[in-house]
Structure 1
Amino acid sequence: MSAQTSTMKETSSQTAGPFVHIGLIPHQAGFDIFEKNFSNVLVEAGTRGERIRIEGRILDGLGEPAKDILVEIWQANAAGRYHHPSDRQDDKPIDPNFRGWGRTGTDFQSGIYSFETIKPGPVAVDRHGHRSMAPHVNIWLVARGINMGLATRMYFSDERAANAEDPVLNLIDPPGRRNTLVGRREDRDGEVVYVFDIHLQGEAETVFFDI
């Protein structure tokens, strides 16, 4: 390393600024600038699988809801396959009516986020399908005050047997912290809702992944 490079200072960084909603989810900020807005609805009329709603709040260290968080999810379809060329589970079908990815923001008034999707199937850990991950949804958060996007997962409370065998959940120690990744099932007038609150800090802080 030369003397010149050894004395170079780190470039200043910035958090996501106040225009994150205008650029990424402008319709929520009241702007109609995209021909096709990204949405929190991942399903169509022909999408296969059990229709579900995922909703929750994102809470700061004081337990107060954060009302300016961008939330993205991506997930496998009902058969447990991602709609992406990197998924080589050729024994599982691709659902052409399921995008498997969605984006929204926490509501400016209530702080609640929500997605209309389907419950995913288990995803094989290896190409031979000898082991599988429990059904789950991948979640990514970004907002002012967060220097890097936060990645986490939501598993399902009614998949206890699969959760107990999940290789990712079993890496989390102490075991009690695994509960921060489990969405609670509720049945509301025939609609299946999984409630998943995300805690950014504090004693109940959600497990985030370094990816």
Structure 2
Amino acid sequence: MRSLILLTTLSAALACGPADGGTASGSETSTAATGDPQTASTQPTSTGDSTGGVPTAPECQEDADCALFNDCCRCTAAPKSAQFPECDATCLQSTCDALGLRDVQVACLSGRCEFARVTCSDGPVACDEAKPQCAEGTVNSVKDSCWGPCMDPRYCEGGPCTADSCGDGWTCVDSQSGASTCAPVPFECSGGTPTCACLQPYLDEFCGGACSDAAGGVLCEDGG
């Protein structure tokens, strides 16, 4: 199960009608799949399987297989075919918007539907928008010369990361050059343990060279 990054408490607001399960425009309080109205998360409580089970085969082959599920109850990337429980909450803004995830994109990473990688930066930017104040545990990103969504650092292009910084279901991939980046552990990896064998179909996404197994993860042999 992907780890949950708990963000700041969201302000309660007046109810203004039932959500329709899609992008909501209205709520008492925006929550993610945690079901706790005092917390919200940029991660779902399941790995693409709406029943809470963990798949053992890839859930996507390309970005187009994934969709953003954004309503009063959740803000998550999942296969387009995923079925989530009906969201009975009402909200003034959708969960993604409440979390500062405006214009967040989804992608197929390591055979999993995830938020797309972003360029993490504190600027400067070319637009006149004020710099977003990101919640604890998230960082600023830049998109099209302006500010992008506040994201969990695991989604930053090019890292860096440490063995413990990527969270459950992810691994920090080190390179001989000294670079590092977080990568989702494919569902095919038994017990969630990353190895070069189970990562092989996805190495091009985060490893430019050969791969060797290392303690607690893998190493990209890029000749550095």
After TM superposition, is the score higher than 0.5?
no
Select the structure with the greater relative contact order (CA < 8 A; seq sep ≥ 6).
1
Question: 1 or 2, which has the higher strand percentage?
Answer: 1
Structure with higher Rg: it is 1
TM-score class, shorter: under 0.3
The normalised TM-score by structure 1 is 0.26
